[in-house]
Amino acid sequence: MNNKYQGSAGKSGRSERNGGGYSNSGGNNSDRPRRPLASYRVHQIQLVLGEMLRWEHPADAVLSHWLRANPALGGRDRAELAEGVYDVLRNLRRYRQLAESGVGPAERRLAILGLAATRGVEYVNDALDPGEAAWLARVDQVDPASLPANVRYSLPDWLAERLSVLPQAESLMGALNQAAQLDARANPLKIERDALLEVLRAGPAGRYDPQPMPYSPWGIRFKGHPSINRWPEFEKGEVEVQDEGSQLLALLVGPRRSEMIIDFCAGAGGKTLLLGALMRSTGRLYALDVSAARLARAKPRFARSGLSNVVPVVIDSENDARVKRLAGKAQRVLVDAPCSGFGTLRRNPDLKWRQNPQSLAEMVALQHRILKSAARCVAPGGRLVYATCSLLPEENAQQADRFLAENPGFERLDAAALLHNRCDKLQLEGPYVQLRPDLHGTDGFFAAVFERKKASRAAETVAEPVLAEPETVSDAEPEEPAA
């Protein structure tokens, strides 16, 4: 994949970007005073969709690349462009059906529908000729409730079929088709949430109405999509973007000071950051991933957060020799596995169009291999947490049940009860945790917790590093575990 298009996909992608700009081919800027702003906006959305709908790259990567190449617009215009594009991605199947009765380029009709949904029909009418305006007036009268569920919620048939068997399926489908608010959290290594909220409300962030999350003790939710990376609190490492469901995984891992912990699929380091902070930057925290680029993006985050106990390690696969050296060493192992990412459709609506049953089957097979390999790293009496940002049983409960059946050396803990003990507001039925956007206001997340049975002769965990290759670790050596 071309680096300029690297973005979120499956597990790794979990964010929507706001931004915008005029394309070099988007029209002569000298004509701007004689053309309504809506005309420019329709044209810009049309251009971006023309690139996105090839499905060659993640949507957020395509949008970011386009915006960097066209930096002329301000923040408000950027937001309008991004909202229009993502509205089309969310409602693509329904919009395509409505667009069949129109004329002109398909991407233009989709752009008109997206802009009408986000800015209003009257606004977009300024950009339309009489024929287009008449068409928009007709399709605007179509009641979405009259359409089949797979069209109404814009899902491919195969995915709609899988979601339809879940409890309260239509409620879930509807929630997945809505835009998510921005979730963030305080860095407990640097600041308490209440103190951070006070600072945020007194500054520019106050316009986004920051509120404490209902479940996570560190979480803060904002209305809209602010540019949080421009805030001084972000630059100081006091606040990080992270969905509430993802934050709650740290409670299931339950990290303690001076332990050896492995984040087996660390990605860009979001969960690693919180685990390291809860360890108070003591012990040793290995951040493993097959992508050197993702771990490289994580390093500045580790430095900004104040952590010194993280050891990033690039592995070539789940069977890398570096993984084998960690066998039986870790008190806690988190496997936030690569997955379909369908629990994040509010933020990454392109995922439903960029995957198919075959890619899902391949992902399920990879998850099984990763979980099997990661389990070998768990010390006797240690904890293994398996998690996905999916809602599909084959990636979640079925995967966990299979692991338990094939690994008699592990026993299953009641993950829902463990989470309730740390967050009594969250009512879930065990033994697994399944969070949903319609029920909990989070992305879709699944988690299972296992404990390795203690051997007759307890294994000792070595204190010195077991991975020390200079090319695979961070520039700064981690601190020695506290006594």
Binding residues for S-adenosyl-L-methionine, by number, are 289, 316, 336
Neighbours of 24 (CB within 10 A): 9
Active site residue 265: no
Torsion-angle region of 478 (φ positive above 0: left; ψ -120 to 50: alpha; else: beta): beta
Q: What is the layout of strands, in order, in the sheet containing 211-212?
A: 211-212, 219-222, 182-186, 239-241
Cα separation, 245 vs 445, whole angstroms: 6
Annotated binding residues, as ranges?
289, 316, 336
Cα separation, 407 vs 403, whole angstroms: 6
Strand-pairing partners, residue 186, are 239
Which is catalytic among the residues 265, 339, 389, 423? 389
Angle between helix 37-52 and helix 106-119 axes, rounded to 10 deg: 120
Catalytic residues: 389
